[in-house]
Amino acid sequence: MRLPITDKFLLDLLELTSDTAHFIFRRRRTFEDLMPGPKDPSFEIYRRFKNRKEFNKLIYYLKKNNFIKAENLKGMPAVLLTKKGKNKAIKASFKIEDSKRKNRRDGKWIMIIFDIPQNRKKDRSLLRSVLKNLGYKLFQQSVWITPYDVFEKTEKSLQFYSLDKYVRIFLVNKI
């Protein structure tokens, strides 16, 4: 699957830390952390832009839409992913992994049951979109299931969005 260049850039920034969850829960990352050497192969695709103007347009677009922000840290320019940028990168990683999903080896299904208070409608909507991105299907109201092996990603996503207190995860043999 081919991603838009903006999604690819944000995903590359996120993936350079090797583990998405590790990245999410660590301190803020700077561009210096991500670019240890002048010839980092992860960013080679962006060096091939026809001219610097194209690359600057990409950066301008990402800054204008609040996906990244440029700051001065310790007298050095740095690029930081915003929460919106992290969300977009995580969603892009879900798109890539859609085609790579595999059923669980043990044949069990993952069942999610949630109870989010009525006054937290945005959280409920967010949870539904996260579950859809992970390949879950609605089984009953507030009950979602999937045969895919996405248990760890589910836990990490729930923790990232602070939804884990409203959700119970079960492994079931039969539906």
- Please identify, in words, the CATH class of the domain defined by 109-172: alpha beta
pLDDT of residue 145: 94
DSSP structure class, residue 162: T
d(CA 106, CA 130): 24
Which DSSP state fits 147?
Answer: -
Predicted pLDDT at 114: 94
Q: Which long-range contacts (CB under 8 A, 24 or more apart) does 121-126 make?
A: 123/161, 123/163, 123/166, 126/161, 126/163
Domain spans of the chain, in order of start: 5-98, 109-172
| CATH architecture classification, 5-98 | Orthogonal Bundle (1.10)
| pLDDT score for 46 | 61
The token pair that represents 105 in the structure block: 């080896």
Digit-by-digit pLDDT tens for the chain (175 residues) are 566 777 777 777 776 644 444 444 444 444 444 444 445 555 566 656 656 777 778 888 888 999 888 777 777 767 778 888 888 887 777 666 665 678 888 989 999 999 998 899 888 988 998 888 888 999 998 999 999 888 888 898 888 888 889 999 999 998 8
